[in-house]
C-alpha cells in the first residue's frame, strides 16, 4: 500500500489526478487530497506519504513552501506540477525553481494525463529497491 498526498487548490485538478492514479497505477494506493496547503502540511507527519504531488501556484501557502517544509523533515519524493497559463517559458521557470528547492520530479498540468502514471510507477519501483 502506497500513501499519496495530492495538494492543489483546484478541485478539478485534484479529481483528475486521483482518477489517473486510481485507474492507471498498478498498485494499492491510499490517496489523500488537500485543496489547502496549510492543512496538508499539518497532516504530513500523521499521514506519512510515500509520494507528494503538489501544485506550485496556490493561495496562502504556495507549492515552494510545501516543498521546502517537506524536505526539512522528510526525504519523501515530490512531484511538482504547474499549469501556469501565462507563457510556456513561465511554466518551465516555475518548475525549474521547484527542482532547485527540492522537488524530485516536475510535470506540467498538460502532461499529467500522458505521463503521471508512468512516473509514479517508476518512483514506486525505485522506492521498493531501496
How confident is the model at residue 89, as a pLDDT? 57
Which numeric CATH code is attached to 2-124?
3.40.50.2300
Domain map (residue ranges) of the chain: 2-124
Span 90-126, pLDDT tens digits: 777 889 999 999 999 999 998 999 999 999 999 988 7
Span 72-88, pLDDT tens digits: 999 999 999 998 765 55
Residues 63 and 30: beta-carbon distance below 8 Å: no
| Cα separation, 46 vs 18, whole angstroms | 20
Where is 30: in which H helix or E strand? strand 29-34
Q: What is the mean pLDDT of residues 11-28?
A: 94
Can you give the pTM of this predicted structure? 0.92
Amino acid at each position: 500500500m502506497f500513501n499519496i498526498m495530492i495538494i492543489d487548490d483546484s478541485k478539478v485538478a485534484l479529481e483528475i489526478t486521483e482518477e489517473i492514479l486510481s485507474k492507471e497505477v498498478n498498485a494499492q494506493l491510499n490517496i489523500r487530497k488537500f485543496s489547502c496547503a496549510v492543512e496538508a502540511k499539518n497532516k504530513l507527519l500523521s499521514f506519512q506519504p510515500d509520494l507528494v504531488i503538489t501544485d506550485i501556484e496556490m493561495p496562502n501557502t504556495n507549492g515552494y513552501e510545501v516543498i521546502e517544509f517537506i524536505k526539512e523533515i522528510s526525504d519523501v519524493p515530490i512531484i511538482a506540477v504547474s499549469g501556469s497559463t501565462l507563457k510556456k517559458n513561465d511554466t518551465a521557470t516555475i518548475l525549474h525553481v521547484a527542482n532547485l528547492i527540492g522537488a524530485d520530479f516536475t510535470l506540467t498540468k498538460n502532461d499529467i494525463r500522458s505521463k503521471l502514471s508512468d512516473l509514479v510507477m517508476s518512483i514506486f519501483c525505485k522506492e521498493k529497491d531501496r
